[in-house]
Amino acid sequence: DQQVKQNSPSLSVQEGRISILNCDYTNSMFDYFLWYKKYPAEGPTFLISISSIKDKNEDGRFTVFLNKSAKHLSLHIVPSQPGDSAVYFCAPYPPTSGTYKYIFGTGTRLKVLA
Amino acid sequence: KAGVTQTPRYLIKTRGQQVTLSCSPISGHRSVSWYQQTPGQGLQFLFEYFSETQRNKGNFPGRFSGRQFSNSRSEMNVSTLELGDSALYLCASSTGLNEKLFFGSGTQLSVL
């Protein structure tokens, strides 16, 4: 029962262009959505998040869009830079944390070509 | 402020052995959670501890266990190692009151 899907395992983008990473979820109870970025041999680091009361959140080159009716979110990186090459995980979060089994998508490996 | 520290960084074991991994959370964080990462499988949740109590557990066999100490440091133990246990094991800490996780660099376990 995969509640979070990142259907593109990998993505290659030219430097300077836009990268769009997608994430679909099935549980309408999810209240908050986070994106983490992971470099090889390092732990994931928090990148950006969005609350379900919003449909967009922007932080510099990174913007996350949320479409609740479609249970879909996307991460846009503009312009893409070689240092953005990493694996990106989508992670939803419910309204209450007490009994939550943290869920992560399978990740999308982004490669930004110089 | 020091980050999340995991030791050891690399570990090689043989089938049937047992292993203990350690995680020191960010100071003040009371929640520690553990994850297994294998190629193509993303991050699989193992368990979470909050104030020395296991608050939740993922779908892993009983060979995987953990504990948390009064200083919030946590250990994870895997007994009777199998080849399929080879993975990157990550721990993350948080305040336990919100959703943001801070990860360590992980322990790369190889089972031969």
pLDDT tens-place string over residues B85-105 = 999 999 999 987 667 899 999
pLDDT at A96: 60
Chains A, B: CB pairs < 8 Å: 63
pLDDT at A41: 83
CA-based nearest residue in chain B for residue A106: B42
Q: What is the secondary structure of chain A as a DSSP string?
A: --SEE---SEEEEETTS-EEEEEEE--TT--EEEEEEE-TTS--EEEEEEETT-SEEEETTEEEEEETTTTEEEEEESS--GGG-EEEEEEEE-S--TT--------EEEEEE-
Cα–Cα distance, A10 to A107 (Å, whole number): 8
B71 pLDDT exceeds 80? yes
Interface check A39 vs B, CB under 8 A: no
CA of A18: how far to CAs of A12, A13, A37, A90, B96, in Å?
10, 7, 17, 18, 35
Question: pLDDT-based confidence at B55, cuts 50/70/90?
Answer: confident
> In chain B, what residues touch A102 (CB-CB under 8 Å)?
33, 35, 43, 45, 48, 101
**What is the per-residue pLDDT across A32-75, written as a single tens digit (0 to 9) for each?**
899 999 998 889 999 999 998 999 999 999 999 999 999 999 99
> In chain B, what residues touch A32 (CB-CB under 8 Å)?
99
Q: Please tell me the distance in Å from A15's CA to the nearest CA on chain B.
A: 26
CA-based nearest residue in chain A for residue B34: A102
- Average pLDDT value over all residues in chain B: 93
Mean pLDDT of A78-91: 96
Mean pLDDT of A77-101: 85
Strand A108-113 and strand A86-93: pairing? antiparallel
pLDDT at B95: 83
Interface check A52 vs B, CB under 8 A: no
pLDDT at A31: 82
Contact B105 A45 (CB under 8 A): no
Cα–Cα distance, B24 to A96 (Å, whole number): 25
Interface check A82 vs B, CB under 8 A: no
- Say if residues B72 and B4 touch (Cβ distance below 8 Å): no
> In chain A, what residues touch B101 (CB-CB under 8 Å)?
36, 44, 46, 91, 102
